[in-house]
C-alpha cells in the first residue's frame, strides 16, 4: 500500500492550491480551519492495532492518500460536542467516508448512520482491512481504555491536559502518548472528565504526526 508523503508534528499536511488541508486521523480532517468528522464512519484510533497490524496509523495514512492532491469539499450535516462539524466530504467527487469503509480502513458507524452499510458488507465479504480478522472496534477500544484509566485517575477523570510548546493538548486514554504524559498541576496542567470539558477549557486534541 502506498503511504503518504509529508508528516509534520501538527498533523499530516497535504499540498493544496487554495485550501489548507490536514488529515487529523482516519475519520477526521481539518479544512480551512474547520475540523470535520466524517459522517457514518469510525476508523481505528491512531494508536490502535488490529493484531500486529497498525490499523490506526494505516487508516490515517489511507485517508491522507485519498485526499492528496485533490479538491476536497465537505457538506456539513450537524455539529458534535467536541467542536467538530459532522460532514460528508468528497475528494474530486469521491465520497471519502465510503472509500474508507470500502477499503476496510474504517467501520460503518451504524449507531449514528447507516450510510455505508452496503460498503461495509462488501469489504467484510472480501476480507479487506479490518475484516482480515476479528478485531476490536474503535468504540469498544475507547471504552476499554477509558474504563482502565478512570480507575487510576483523580476523581475518575482520566483525560490528561498537557501544556507543551505546541500549546494546550489533551490526551484521552486511547492516545498513543497517554502513558508517557504526566500532569503537573503546578504548571497549570490538569485532569478532565470528558473531551468536551477539555475543549471548553481551551485544550485541543492531538494531531498525529505518524
Tell me the C-alpha distance between 208 and 73, whole Å.
Answer: 22
Do 30 and 73 have their domain in common?
yes
For residue 128, give the CATH number of its domain.
2.40.50.90
Q: Are residues 90 and 15 in the same domain?
A: yes
pLDDT for the residue numbered 81: 81
Provide the b/e sequence for 172-187 (b: ≥16 CB within 10 Å): bbbbeebeebebeeee
At 2 the pLDDT is 39
Q: Does residue 178 sit within a domain?
A: yes
| Residue 18 and residue 100 share a domain | yes
Task: Please tell me the predicted confidence (pLDDT) of residue 207.
Answer: 76
If one counts the domains in the chain, the total is 2
pLDDT in tens, the chain (210 residues): 433 333 333 344 444 345 789 999 999 999 999 999 999 999 999 999 999 999 999 999 999 999 988 999 999 999 998 889 999 999 999 999 999 999 999 999 999 999 999 999 999 999 999 999 999 999 999 999 999 999 999 999 999 999 999 899 999 999 988 999 999 999 999 999 999 999 999 999 887 643
**Same domain (yes/no): 125, 150:** no
Q: Are residues 54 and 123 in the same domain?
A: yes
- Is residue 207 situated within a structural domain? no
Say what the pLDDT of residue 185 is: 94
Whether residue 67 is found in the same domain as residue 28: yes
Per-residue pLDDT, 5: 36
Of 135, 160, 182, at which residue does a domain stop?
A: 135
pLDDT at 210: 37
Is 39 in contact with 88 (CB distance < 8 Å)?
A: yes
Domain range enclosing 117: 7-135
pLDDT at 12: 46
Check residue 161 and give its pLDDT: 97
Q: What is the value of pTM for the model shown?
A: 0.84
Same domain, 42 and 118: yes
Separate counts of helices (H) and strands (E) for the chain = 5, 13
Give yes or no: residues 24 and 92 share one domain: yes
DSSP string, the chain: ----S-EETTEEEE--SS--EEEEETTEEEETTEEEEETTEEPPPTT--BTTB-HHHHHHHHHHHHHTTS-EEEEEEEE-TTSPEEEEEEETTEEHHHHHHHTTSSEE-TTT--TTHHHHHHHHHHT-GGGSS----HHHHHHHHHHHHHTTSGGG--EEEEEETTEEEEE-TTSTTTTT----GGGT-EEESSHHHHHHTT-B------
Length of the chain: 210
Residue 1 lies in a domain: no
d(CA 108, CA 191): 32
Regarding whether 150 and 56 lie in a shared domain, the answer is no
User: Domain boundary at 116, 135, 154, which?
Assistant: 135
Q: What is the pLDDT at residue 64?
A: 95
Is residue 85, in this structure, part of any structural domain at all? yes
Cell, residue 123: 469489504
pLDDT of residue 9: 31
Q: How far apart (Å, rounded) are the C-alpha atoms in residues 54 and 56?
A: 6
Amino acid at each position: 500500500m502506498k503511504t503518504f508523503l509529508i508528516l509534520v508534528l501538527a498533523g499530516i499536511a497535504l499540498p493544496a492550491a487554495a485550501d489548507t488541508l490536514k488529515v487529523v486521523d482516519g475519520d477526521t480532517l481539518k479544512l480551512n480551519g474547520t475540523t470535520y468528522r466524517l459522517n457514518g464512519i469510525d476508523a481505528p484510533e491512531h494508536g490502535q492495532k488490529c493484531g500486529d497490524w497498525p490499523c490506526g496509523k494505516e487508516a490515517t495514512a489511507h485517508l491522507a492518500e485519498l485526499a492528496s492532491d485533490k479538491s476536497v469539499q465537505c457538506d456539513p450535516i450537524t455539529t458534535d460536542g467536541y467542536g467538530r462539524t459532522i460532514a460528508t466530504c468528497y475528494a474530486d467527487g469521491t465520497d471519502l467516508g465510503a472509500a474508507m469503509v470500502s477499503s476496510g480502513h474504517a467501520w460503518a458507524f451504524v449507531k449514528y448512520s447507516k450510510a455505508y452499510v452496503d460498503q461495509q458488507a462488501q469489504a467484510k465479504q472480501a476480507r479487506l482491512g479490518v475484516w482480515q480478522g476479528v478485531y476490536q472496534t474503535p468504540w469498544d477500544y475507547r471504552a476499554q481504555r477509558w474504563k482502565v484509566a478512570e480507575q487510576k485517575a483523580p476523581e475518575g477523570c482520566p483525560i490528561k491536559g498537557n501544556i507543551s510548546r505546541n500549546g494546550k493538548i489533551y490526551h484521552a486514554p486511547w492516545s498513543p502518548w497517554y502513558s508517557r504524559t504526566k500532569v503537573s498541576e503546578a504548571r497549570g496542567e490538569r485532569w478532565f472528565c470528558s473531551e468536551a470539558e477539555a475543549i471548553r477549557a481551551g485544550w485541543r486534541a492531538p494531531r498525529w504526526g505518524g
